[in-house]
Amino acid sequence: MHNRFVVSDWSAFAPGLESREQWLAWARAPHLPEGEQAPALAEMPAMQRRRLERLGRMALQVAWRLQPEPEPSVPVVFSSRHGDITRTFQMLRGLAGGEPLSPTHFGLSTHNAVVAQYSIARGLTGNYLATAGGVESPESAVTEALGLLADGEASVLVVHCDDLTPPDYVCYRDEPEAPYAWAWRLRRPGEGEAALSLGPAGEGAQAASAPALLPHGLDVMRWFLSGEPDLVAPVSGRCWNRDA
């Protein structure tokens, strides 16, 4: 079955949550991360690091931790619901005020700009792409990764991240928001090996009826760390499962 996979390694970052121990404790008592903290991303040259907003720093930090040594041929799937919306909003506000558009800022605001910066810094020669699927952006990323595994790739790096939307967008928010990023290294399961899967909702699996505590993208990470058997995506009804 092509919808089964193993997460062989993971990394995550949010304000106040950096180590694995902190994340595992958070998964047992989840809360919405808050704060202005951004990762140091000391691995990246300063000239390139200065081009990144907090979203990019979070995403590249968790990716770098899973690839401390360059792996140029390993595919990377980058996923974000909103992308670098802080930079985009700044440009839109400037345009509304009659200010000229900066080509540099525009180039860094596109949805694939963050993974492109990672590609340049790490010398990637393999497949890399960016996806956005609204609330279910993690599902879009893992679906792409499963396709790459089915095509014969040994492993795929999946990076999902999001940040707060600007206050002007508050009336459009349809889920809680928080700054966070996580990365999974995916591979195909071996014969008889326990695995995760992403597919149609299973019998008895139900979406939560109470208001969400977390953005869905962060709830996927909570589910992964918690050991819970399944998690239903809020729009499509697709279901994350783990082997019993």
Q: Collapsing DSSP states into helix, strand and coil, what is residue 162?
A: strand
How large is the average pLDDT for residues 222-226?
97
Report the distance separating Cα 190 and Cα 219, nearest Å. Answer: 27
- Whether 229 is covered by a domain: the verdict is no
Q: What is the mean pLDDT of residues 212-241?
A: 95
- Do the domain assignments include residue 218? no
The domain spanning residue 156 has which CATH number?
Answer: 3.40.47.10
Is 136 or 100 the better-scoring residue by pLDDT?
136
pLDDT digits 0-9 by tens, 173-186? 999 999 999 999 99
- Structural domains of the chain, count: 1
The answer as to whether 160 is a domain residue is yes
Share the mean pLDDT of the chain: 92
63: nearest Cα among 194, 158, 151: 158
Establish if 97 belongs to a structural domain: yes
Q: Is the pTM of this model over 0.75?
A: yes
Do the domain assignments include residue 228? Answer: no
Residue 214 in any domain: the answer is no
pLDDT digits 0-9 by tens, 9-28: 999 999 999 999 999 999 99
Alpha helices in the chain (DSSP H): 20-28, 46-49, 54-66, 85-96, 103-109, 113-122, 137-150, 216-226
Domain annotation covers residue 204:
no
Calculate Rg over the CA atoms of the chain: 18
The parent domain of residue 176 ranges over 4-195
Residue 210: predicted pLDDT: 52
